[in-house]
Structure 1
């Protein structure tokens, strides 16, 4: 409750800064000023507000950037750590909370909805069962899961929440006019329905969608350059998905480099979780394992796309078969995709054989389990692929589907 009260005070002071004309229209500057004003109005023994102002006025010219850097070194140094041992525990905790509040802004808080958590469950289960073995962890031991589940679950749920926003943009794109479809979101350049999106989506998601998550991971000491890069790949994937799906709707040209880039980026969330697990277990990243899992992720994504092909046509989602039809035409697309799958399978087998034999066998068993449980018989783990009949005229297919759906009497 105390932390919530302090957050509420910060928010109120931010509102005061804006209403009193002190705002600089910069979130970081306004946050700093708000925290400074809160500090100035707190009771301080015999020092009234006027005395505090005079004290600050007298000493401010002496406080340079060099002095602040030196003070920061002292605060983070051994002398400070030793002095903290001598302080009462509650006082030290309060100071830590104040420092956290100083760094935080309500707008930068990473928050997720229950729906996103529920949707992420299947991915988290698959990740634990498929990836824990690469970290020497037994997924059948509950302590192995629950020790790291909060961070993994929060991260995947946050990504799912962003993905759901992107899906809504794709739906809006289908409903817009053919000349300018889809609103501005995550670097999209379209100009239509901007106001509608501005009212619908939270502010942080429109400018820097991963910033709240990045800040949270940074505060936990888990953020690395590779994790930051993979998160940026997520933003890139969503932008490519919108670009490619829009092009199919309005029958614009698409390019093979965009398609292949998108399908390889699509599993960025698994790589983020995997890199986080290396951080959580304090292990060095195994690049050979990451390379193998990357090609495995590619084949799984292709397999899922073939299984979900008709649904993806109806919903205008990214799908590798849809894109190959757009690239090569309905008659040639299946054979071109088969070539792509064959090349990936060859690389997969080569990397699988390079793994530790026990790990290789465990992973193959896991892939077979996942394929059976999902009812998907097109997966690479069984050695067979089934490419569904292509839909040459997607617009007609969607129209017919919607028409048949509207004639079905309600139950």
Structure 2
């Protein structure tokens, strides 16, 4: 997590440099060096303010020669893996000039932005899933009894998802060399760093928190593994589209089924929080409902997902089946899922079934969607045959 935070800061600094036409070199390494220098100057260091730091730099920089640096390299054991400061011990106890001596990869933390992004999902979860637990959505006491754990968990997931989105983001095309450098950074540095993070188990800090509270079980662990698998498939499939490579329908359908893993995590956590056994019939029904909702969302967000290079089932079907056949093939999957949904809906308690259908109607109206199930009508948007041309045209009209 800490390495990704540093890369995000570097990416933001490079963007700032570009906005001020401050691009000192055509090479990625040179620009990254200057960006890192700017970040170093911005780091807090005791009572030094920016003016004092600038004066120190102006005074001492002329005294630093190549020979001085070569001699310094003999005195200082320099690690080249860019894990700056992480293993430094300060015997004086003064850590003003160093980051806090905390292993951030071991501590579950969420930022305000992640909490804000998770808010709509949490609202939908409470309004759509609490009824399956007999929890009154109109009772603040009941909601806030479970909300802290649910909110923290969903925010943590959104935080990781946001980092994954940065890997998938397509840099703005243009004549500047920095735009090309962003592309290299997104598809090489970010991808490699995130892959390394996945190997270290990105959910481990969150799992530790849940385990300490006696909320973790094998089923919840499996859903978190599903989340890791979804992000890996999303990167694989979206990169394949970017590089005009073939993709498989097996990977696409696996990804769309995994995509709602966070809802299943929250649902299983709610069972744990309430000390209740999991209702497998409800889980199965909601899984089919989640599948249809994900397709509905993908159709609604299709154009945006093309622009941002996000996973979208229609994008994938266009690649696999071609623009002419893709809508019909997707409609077949929708029809099959609707039939299964209707069959499972009949097995629910009539009162719960009626309540859930009213909630679906509310969600459809609130979202302004014209596609959905079972209360709306499906509408597949016109497919985008040439995504590169579409992005270019959108860019030129901004």
Give TM-score scaled by structure 2 length: 0.69
What is the aligned counterpart of 2:120 among 105, 119, 122? 122
Structure 1 residues 325, 182: closer, same or farther in 2, change over 3 A?
A: farther
Q: Give the equivalent residue in structure 2 for 1:296.
A: 289
**Per-residue CA shift, 1:65-100, capped at 9, x if unaligned?**
xxxxxxxxxxxxxxxxxxxxxxxxxxxxxxxxxxxx
| In structure 2, distance between residues paired with 1:351 and 1:141 | 29
Shift of 1:238: 0.5
Q: Give the equivalent residue in structure 1 for 2:309.
A: 316
What is the aligned counterpart of 1:260 among 250, 253, 256? 253
Q: Mean alpha-carbon deviation: is it higher for 239-248 or for 381-390? A: 381-390
Aligned 8 A contact 2:170 2:308 in 1:
no
| In structure 2, distance between residues paired with 1:159 and 1:255 | 27
Aligned 8 A contact 2:300 2:369 in 1:
yes
Aligned 8 A contact 1:231 1:272 in 2:
yes
Q: Give the equivalent residue in structure 2 for 1:389.
A: 382
Q: Alignment length, in residue pairs?
A: 294
**Cα RMSD (Å) of the superposition?**
2.7
- For 1:126-145, what aligned pairs fall within 5 Å after superposition? 126-145=124-143
Shift of 1:403: 1.0
Name the SS for the 1:402 alignment partner.
Answer: helix
**1:246 partnered with 2:239:** yes
Unaligned runs of 5+ in 2: 1-88, 90-101
Name the SS for the 1:147 alignment partner.
Answer: helix
**Per-residue CA shift, 1:150-191, capped at 9, x if unaligned?**
00000000000000000001016888999xx7779xxxxx7x
Q: Give the equivalent residue in structure 1 for 2:144.
A: 146
**1:109 partnered with 2:107:** yes
| In structure 1, distance between residues paired with 2:115 and 2:397 | 33
- For 1:12-411, what aligned pairs fall within 5 Å after superposition? 107-171=105-169, 192-193=188-189, 198=193, 207-405=200-398
Shift of 1:207: 2.5
Shift of 1:377: 1.3
| In structure 2, distance between residues paired with 1:216 and 1:402 | 44
Name the SS for the 1:252 alignment partner.
Answer: coil
Shift of 1:202: 12
**Per-residue CA shift, 1:1-44, capped at 9, x if unaligned?**
xxxxxxxxxxxxxxxxxxxxxxxxxxxxxxxxx9xxxxxxxxxx
Give TM-score scaled by structure 1 length: 0.67
| In structure 1, distance between residues paired with 2:179 and 2:336 | 39
| In structure 2, distance between residues paired with 1:156 and 1:171 | 22
Unaligned runs of 5+ in 1: 1-33, 35-103, 185-189, 406-411
Shift of 1:206: 6.7
Structure 1 residues 307, 108: closer, same or farther in 2, change over 3 A?
A: same
| In structure 2, distance between residues paired with 1:395 and 1:365 | 41
Aligned 8 A contact 1:237 1:265 in 2:
yes
Name the SS for the 1:400 alignment partner.
Answer: helix
Aligned 8 A contact 1:108 1:204 in 2:
no
